Amino acid sequence: MSKVLIYRMKQYLLIFFLFCSFAMNAQYHTTGKELPCVNKVFKVFAHVGISETGETNLTEEEIVETVEAVNKYFEPICISFEVCKIDTMWNYTFNVPREHLYEEMHATFGEDHLIDLYFCFMEFGGPFLCGRTDGTILSDDEGAVYTHKQCPRGLAHELGHLFGLLDTFVPGNNNSLVDYSNCETTGDLICDTPADPFDGSRLEYFIYDCRFIYDGKDANGDYYLTEVGNIMSAYFPCYCGFSRDQLLKMVETYNATPNRFW
Ligand SMILES: [Zn+2]
């Protein structure tokens, strides 16, 4: 199973670093609400694509920064990620991989008991691909995360997938109701994330300056109250946190995996 996020980035670079201030009313986890503490540092093995001339276009410092930047989102459940190994992928076709190469990349370079994280360029065929996750930590191959070298803000979202979360949106088949009445069977199957009508088209139809501006209604005729700061949404310039139930779901996934992580 592959979950692919298509992001359109260029309009949003300018507000890339305006972070969380717009989302004061969102229901993200805050201290004082009890959550299980996994108390686990996951070791990350970063695999970096190289160009035909041998360039990575990414420094080791940038890799470490990218990984460390996600830790604040996982801190409520005492999970963190630490880069322990970095290598380069000798075959430059993995630097700008085609669809069929992702599986091969992981089969070639993945290492058991580590979180395998692949850095490559993912822009092709028009849309801007920010990241991708195949499988989860429950999978036989422990899953794999692919991150666009120029889109580090997508990493927390992809790690959410790796730990069993779904997108808050379902392009082409969005029937989640604003009143949460079908939250257990539709959308992301998480009941503290508001319905999200994002359809895979353009972010600017849905957000402006990280304000939700979409004025469509759900099947009941209710306006959406979508949280643009949720990390499992498509609104990556606005990422702010996971919801409480998303954090609980990730703990559940970790507790259920038969795989061992160093
Ligand atoms: Zn996603």
Distance linking the first and last C-alpha atoms of the chain: 25
Q: Which CATH class is domain 12-256?
A: alpha beta
pLDDT by position in tens, the chain (length 262): 344 444 434 333 333 334 454 444 445 655 446 899 999 999 999 999 999 999 999 999 999 999 999 999 999 999 999 999 999 999 999 999 988 999 999 999 999 999 999 999 986 544 557 899 999 999 999 999 999 998 888 999 999 999 999 999 988 778 999 999 999 999 999 999 999 999 988 899 999 999 999 999 999 999 999 999 999 999 999 999 999 999 999 999 999 999 999 9
- If you measure from the C-alpha of residue 165 to the centroid of ligand 1, how many angstroms do you get, rounded to a whole number? 8
- CA of 121 from ligand 1 middle (Å) equals 17
Q: How far is the CA of 54 from the centre of ligand 1 (A)?
A: 30
- Cα 230 to ligand 1 centre (Å): 11
Q: What pTM value is reported for the model?
A: 0.88
Give the pLDDT of residue 173.
77
pLDDT given for residue 17 in this prediction: 36
Residue 205: the pLDDT is 94
Short-list 225, 229, 248, CA closest to 238: 229
The torsion region of residue 172 among left (phi > 0), alpha (psi -120 to 50) and beta comes to left
pLDDT at 122: 84
- For residue 201, the model assigns a pLDDT of 87
User: b/e map of 150-160 (b: 16 or more CB within 10 Å)?
Assistant: bbbbbbbbbbb
53 Cα–ligand 1 center, Å: 32
| pLDDT confidence of residue 3 | 45
Q: How far does residue 221's CA lie from ligand 1's centre (Å)?
A: 27
Q: How far is the CA of 29 from the centre of ligand 1 (A)?
A: 20
CA of 164 to the centre of ligand 1 (A): 11
**Cα 159 to ligand 1 centre (Å):** 9
Domain ranges (residues) in the chain: 12-256
pLDDT of residue 200: 86
Structure tokens at 82: 């630490």
pLDDT of residue 13: 32
What is the per-residue pLDDT for 142? 98
Across the beta sheet with 2-7, what order do the strands follow?
2-7, 128-134, 144-148, 115-120, 40-49, 79-89
